[in-house]
Structure 1
Amino acid sequence: MLAANDSTIRSKFKEYCDQATDHYETIIVTRKEEKNVVILSLEKYNDIMKAVRNAEFLNKIDKSIKQKEDGKVVIKTMQELEAMENQVLSGLDF
């Protein structure tokens, strides 16, 4: 991880962008009043977002498992689901 102030980043912007993309570096841009920002490659950003989505998905799975263990689920057969679908569709005007 690298850190530099905004003036340095501004004067060497291409070099810092190359560090982010070519060397997978994260660059912290320090600014007045602690209004810091981060520069990172799109690839690294996408990896972070994927990890966040995966964590959210795993939390949903954990919640579902807990609901099942607590008996808070309703189990339907395929036939029951199809009957429910037909009932809903029969009430709609197309």
Structure 2
Amino acid sequence: MDAESFSNFKRDPKKYMKQVNDNCEPLIVTSHYIDDTVVVIGKSEYDSLISTVEIQSNPYLMDKIHSGEMEFMNNEGQTHDIFIDEK
């Protein structure tokens, strides 16, 4: 993960935003005060993180995931063909 000072970031924020999105890698924007330091991430990365947190915070979904893992490990799972309608 790269780091850049706030003074450099504010000179050309568009450049750094493009870098973050093109590389799919967060950027730390540093400040003299540690509490003011931020991490810049792309929207798709943010959405993915939020989705993961929501799933992991849902006991019902986590139970389903763990049940599926146990079925897989015990060779009890079922396979299904997936058909995609490409219109």
Instruction: Tell me the TM-score normalised to structure 1 length.
Output: 0.59
Q: Aligned partner of 1:39: which letter? A: V
Structure 1 vs Structure 2: percent identity of aligned residues? 25
Matched, 1:45 2:33: no
- For residues 1-94 of structure 1, the aligned pairs below 5 Å read 1-34=1-34, 35-57=36-58, 60-61=59-60
Q: Aligned partner of 1:61: which letter? A: Y
Structure 1 residue runs of 4 or more that deviate by more than 2 Å after TM superposition? none
Please state whether the residue corresponding to 1:38 is helix, strand or coil.
strand
Larger Rg: 1
| Cα-Cα RMSD | 1.7
Structure 1 unmatched runs, 5+: 65-94
Would you say how many aligned residue pairs link Structure 1 and Structure 2?
A: 61
Structure 2 unmatched runs, 5+: 64-87
Please state whether the residue corresponding to 1:54 is helix, strand or coil.
helix
